[in-house]
Amino acid sequence: MIIPHGVNTKISGLRKERQARNLERRRTNKTDAISRRQFLKSTAAAAGTVLLAPTIVPSSIFGANAPSNRITVGMIGMGRQAYYSNLKSFLSASDTQVIAACDVDAWRLDNAKKAVEKHYAKEQASGKFRGCSIYKDFRKLLARSDIDAVMISTPDHWHVPMAIEAAKAGKDICCEKPLTLSIAEGRVLSDTVKRYNRVFRTDSEFRSHACFQRACELVLNGRIGKVHTIRTGVPAGDVGCEPQQEMPVPKELDYELWLGPAPSAPYTVKRVHAPQSYERPGWMRVLDYCEGMVTNWGAHLNDIAQWGNGTERTGPVEVEGSGHFPTEGLWNVLLGFEIKYRFANGVRLFYSISHPHVRFEGTDGWIEADYNTRALKAHPESILKSTIGPDEIHLPLKSEKRDFIDAVKTRRQTLADAEVGHRTTSLCQLGHIAIQVGRKLKWNPDAERFTNDETANRLLSRPMRSPWRL
C-alpha cells in the first residue's frame, strides 16, 4: 500500500457519513429529504466490501440538476489533456459541477480557475456557485468532504499514489491512462479501489468510438468464427533528444512536488513541460515518468484487443519482443518495437508500431477497426451487415466521462474499471519487460508473476522516492 507522510484517517467512514447526513439535514431543514450527496455516501458500503450490485436510480433523486444536486468534481493535474479535454467534458455535463482544481504549476492552475469560473459565471453571480478553489497539494483537495469525485490527469508516475489516496478519502475516481508505471502498482491500485468500494474509470475514450465497439460486438458474438489472431498497431511518436544541462526552475513550478515519488533529478525543460505552454510535454519520453508509446497509445488499442478477446480481466501466458531505445540523451523510451503474446485460449496477439488499428482474425473471416478513419473493414464484407440478436452480447456505447458519471450515480462498475485498466496496462508492460530481458517469458496471469525468469520478476515493480512507498 502507498502511504504518504503525515496523512492519517482521523474519523471512521461511518462517522463521516453521519456527519454528512446531519449537515445536509440542517441545510435543507427537511429531515426526510434524500439529497444527491446523501445518496452517494449511503450507497457506498464500508471498507472491505465489493461494489454494490447494479441499481437503477430514479432521476427524481437528483432533482433538476440544480447546483446542490450535481456530482461535485475536483480536477487533479491541469496540463494539456486536462485543460483541453477532461475539464471541458465535466463542465459541459449538466449533472456535474467542478468546484476545485489542483496543479503544481501556478500558471496552469490560474488558467483552470479562470476557465471554471467563466463557465459558471451566471451561477456565481446568483450565489449558486461559490467559485473554484485551487490547491498545489492534491491531499488538501482530497481532504474536502464536499467533493464526490476526482479526475486525475497528472504525469503517469503520480497516477497510483493519487488514486489510492483518493479511494481512501472516499472519492470516486476517473484516471488518465496508462494507469501505472509498473505491474505491482496496478495490482495495489485495483485491490485498493475494490477494498474502499469506489467507482473507478480508466480514462481511455476508445471504447466510446463506434468502430471499436462494433468490431468487438461482432467478434464476441462469433461473426468471424473462432478467433486465433489479433493485430494491434500504435503510431510512431517518440524520439530521442540531446542531453540537457540543469536549468533554473520556473518560479510558477513546484518542481520537488512535481517529482513526487520519482527519483530526484536536476530540472530541465525537456524533463517536465515548457513553461506557460500546453505543447506536448517532455516527461512523456522519460522512463522515470512514462513508458512512452508502448503503454501510452498501447493502453488504447490493446484495451480494445482485450475487450474483443474476452480477456480484459486476465492476461497472456507467454510474451516475447524486440525493440530499440535511444543510446544517449534525456529522452529514453522505446523508439520502435514488435511484441508477440499468446493467451491461454490459444489466441496470439501481435503488437507493433504501425497505423493505429485493431484487427481480429478468425476461422470464418476477419474484421479491422482503424482509428484514423474510424472505419471498419471485414472479409467477407457481409460481416459488417450482421444484426446482433436480442439474446446475444450487446456492448454499450457511451463516452468515457458519461460512463463514469452514470456509474457514480448508480454505483455500477464502469466499462473500464481499475482491474480492466490495470490488465491492459500490464499487457503493454509485459512486452516492455520482455524487450528489456531479451527472452521469451512465461507469465502466470493469476499470480501475476513470470514462471521462468527471476530477472524479469524484478522488473514488476519500481522503487518510489521517500516518503512514498509501495
d(CA 95, CA 376): 34
d(CA 44, CA 149): 13
Q: What is the predicted pLDDT for the residue at 357? A: 98
Q: Is the pLDDT of residue 101 over 50?
A: yes
Nearest Cα residue to 417 out of 318, 319, 338, 306: 306
pLDDT tens digits for range 186-232: 999 999 999 999 999 999 999 999 999 999 999 999 999 999 999 99
d(CA 148, CA 465): 29
At residue 68 the predicted structure's pLDDT band, cuts being 50, 70 and 90, is low
Three-state secondary structure readout of the chain: CCCCCCCCCCCCHHHHHHHHHHHHHHHHCCCCCCCHHHHHHHHCCCCCCCCCCCCCCCHHHHCCCCHHHCEEEEEECCCHHHHHHHHHHHHHCCCEEEEEEECCEHHHHHHHHHHHHHHCHHHHHCCCCCCCEEECCHHHHHCCCCCCEEEECCCHHHHHHHHHHHHHCCCEEEEECCCCCCHHHHHHHHHHHHHCCCCEEEECCHHHCHHHHHHHHHHHCCCCCCEEEEEEEECCCCCCCCCCCCCCCCCCECHHHHHCCCCCCCCCHHHCCCCCCCCCCHHHHCCCCCCCHHHHCHHHHHHHHHHHHCCCCCCCCEEEEEEECCCCCCCCCCCEEEEEEECCCCCEEEEEECCCEEEEEECCEEEEEECCCCEEEEECHHHHHCCCCCCCCCCCCCCHHHHHHHHHHHCCCCCCCHHHHHHHHHHHHHHHHHHHHCCCEEEECCCCEECCCHHHHCCCCCCCCCCCCC
Residue with cell 530499440: 324
At residue 38 the predicted structure's pLDDT band, cuts being 50, 70 and 90, is low
Q: What is the predicted pLDDT for the residue at 36? A: 52
What's the chain's average pLDDT? Answer: 89
Is domain 13-206 in CATH 3.30.200.210, yes or no? no
Phi, psi of 322 (to 5 degrees): -140, 155
d(CA 436, CA 453): 12
Q: Is the pLDDT of residue 5 over 70?
A: no
Q: Is the pLDDT of residue 15 over 50?
A: no
Q: Is the pLDDT of residue 33 over 70?
A: no
Range of weakest confidence among 21-30, 147-156, 178-187, 219-228 = 21-30
Q: Is 321 left (phi over 0), alpha (psi -120 to 50) or beta?
A: beta
Q: Is the pLDDT of residue 457 over 60?
A: yes
Q: What is the predicted pLDDT for the residue at 470? A: 78
C-alpha cell belonging to residue 378? 471485414
At residue 469 the predicted structure's pLDDT band, cuts being 50, 70 and 90, is confident
Q: What is the predicted pLDDT for the residue at 340? A: 98
Taking the domains of the chain in order of start, what are their residue ranges?
13-206
pLDDT tens digits for range 328-352: 999 999 999 999 999 999 999 999 9
d(CA 211, CA 375): 6
The answer to whether the CB of 244 falls within 8 A of the CB of 270 is yes
pLDDT tens digits for range 435-445: 999 999 999 99
Q: What is the predicted pLDDT for the residue at 69? A: 83
C-alpha cell belonging to residue 15? 462517522
Provide, rounded to the nearest whole percent, the portion of the chain with pLDDT above 90. Answer: 83
> How far are the Cα atoms of 13, 154, 302, 303, 378 from residue 313, in angstroms, in the given order?
29, 25, 13, 11, 27
User: What Rg value do the Cα atoms of the chain yield, rounded?
Assistant: 23
Q: Is the pLDDT of residue 397 over 90?
A: yes
